[in-house]
Amino acid sequence: MPKYDSWKEMPIAGVIDKPATAREYNTGTWRIMRPIVNKDACINCMQCWLYCPDMAIEGKVKEDGKTEMIGFDYNYCKGCGTCAKVCPVNAIEMKPETEFLK
């Protein structure tokens, strides 16, 4: 469901009146551990992208046809740690969110 600030403006009964609004749902608020990638170690194999249960790993296909891991979309990353576990070169470290609190 899209973001609403007041019960007065949201559709009744939780009806989702626009399709594909799951993209607007921020699951990043659930995260207590934050994945951080060390791009020097990363071999751009995209295992993390493949295994991420959400759509939190950003990647692209370069002009030469090779893949590149760019980073994380923290709007969606729940901090599950799957990416860190599957990374064959241990390029991802999970750090407590508290470290990023200002």
Partner 1 sequence: MPTKLAITGAAAVAHAMRQINPDVVAAYPITPQTPIVEYFAQFVADGAVDTVMVPVESEHSAMSAVVGSAAAGARTMTATAANGLALMFEIVYIAASMRLPIVMPIVNRALSGPINIHGDHSDAYAVRDAGWIQLFAENSQEAYDMTIIATKLAEREEVLTPAMINLDGFITSHGVEGVEILDDEAVKNFVGLWEPKYPLLDIDNPITHGPLDLFDYYFEHHRQQQEGLKNAYKALPEVFAEYEKISGRKYDFLDLYRMDDAEYVMVVLNSAASTAKYVVDELREKGIKAGLVKPWVFTPFPKKEILSALDGRKAVVVLDRAMSFGKEAPLYSLIKSALYEAKEKPMIGSYVYGLGGRDVTPSMLHIPFEEAIKGELDPNDERYLGLKE
Query: Which residues lie near partner 1 (CB under 8 A)?
Result: 1, 4, 6-7, 10-17, 19
**Quick one: 17 or 58, whose CB is closer to partner 1?**
17
Whether the CB-CB separation of 44 and 69 falls below 8 Å is answered with: yes
Site map for ligand SF4, 54-83, x if CB under 6 A? x-xx-----------x--x----xxxxxxx
10 contacts ligand SF4 (rule: CB under 6 A): no
* CA dist., res. 38 & res. 41, Å (int): 6
Contact 68, 60 (CB under 8 A): yes
Q: In the complex, what is the shortest distance from the CB of residue 55 to partner 1, in angstroms, rounded to a whole number?
A: 17
d(C-alpha 48, C-alpha 59), whole Å: 10
Using DSSP, state whether 4 is helix, strand or coil: coil
Binding-site size for ligand SF4 (CB under 6 A) equals 26
For 39, what's the count of Cα atoms within 13 Å in the CB-facing half-sphere? Answer: 6
What residues line the site for ligand SF4 (CB under 6 A)? 35, 37, 42-48, 52, 54, 56-57, 69, 72, 77-83, 87, 89, 91-92
